[in-house]
Structure 1
């Protein structure tokens, strides 16, 4: 299937743009559509945190352009990224805008779509697994649980003005669960605000660093110790407030790849399933 239509909203022949979620880093967590889109792209504009394993899946003939942003560091202006998307698509290129996680979560998706709309460029969005979902899977915990929390808050540690202000009372409520993105530098600010609004210093917190990658690390801590705990993290990390890892999870999570030989009962089960499907077909 060709995911690039080449027809703009005004009916003119043009290139178009696919916003593709790269997920947290493990290429096995890409959607099938994302994988195919990478193979069809002619130009890929990617964030700094997209893993090399995922970039290796890009069409070998495609041009890779890094347009990443570094928190509190050198970054490409959003206006430049918008202009580049419009320029490439206007020249008839099939462009993948590859974003870490899911494009719709802290990915400035709306700003880039608005630029394409103004230029009459066709676009579509391929969702990806966001870090909160991947992190909860790796620690063996649900982001919501009946009787505990009927809502999940996804917040950022900082915005264009500095550390982001939040509804601290809601985040500090008993049973609340919050996924804190880009929160390493804001950890002391966040922990202080939460405790000022009623959260206990012993509130469980889990930090998942380099989610789903070979150097992934799970740090179990508490709200009072959060500022010191994040200091041990060098890579990108998601902070889960109100969740502790399942007891069976270790500081290092299960290996990302497991061979069937690790589970001797799998081949027999697969054989039985295969025979069963043929018998009923």
Structure 2
């Protein structure tokens, strides 16, 4: 990977040179991380494809099994109605509790079908989030759909920690890179879940604001110390224990939102929770009064 600059590092002295070298090293680390994320995305897409194949015939088999079981239950009920039941059959019915069996087997099949549908939703969401997009892949996207798709992927991080409350307003489509916006949302949702020590609430709000869309992700978790608030978007800064976070999630999210022409900010109170706000312009072209949009929040 080549890097070009109009600044000659050799001509710089002392602190200026050290600062420039530090910035170049930081940029290189971020680019390497982006390449790593792209590789992980390709791997996730491949895994999703491999899972999708066996899920296809499992789904088909479960549906066929449901039909066969319903037919057998109909046959049993018709036989019972005929009055040709022997004493041995009557005793066996009591022994195996046919009524319970008939109800439970239908319930088990329905739960299995729901589980398969859930896996299929996760596979679709993984494919959406792992799709590699180029700069010219901007397309109109429904951010509510992006939110739901991302929630499907991170459900395991959230379901034991918080209840998700949606406060959705009517919003326009947004010209964006949906995969990148999904990455931003994923970081915000996971961070919200990690901020909650016990059972809490994550509130997701949307609104149409100044020719764009505002998304707010609120949690009632631990909050952010005032000492750290100005540093949360710095690369590699994290308050999590060693091995629990890279400190890149919010930094990458900040750059993604900025490259979309929007902004991201955090309001937090220690011990009471945090609210991350993301504003994205609905259209890439034309002038957008970002200051007015931010002031409206």
Q: Which has the larger radius of gyration?
A: 2
Q: TM-score w.r.t. structure 2 length?
A: 0.21
Instruction: Kindly indicate which of the two structures has a greater share of residues assigned to helix.
Output: 2
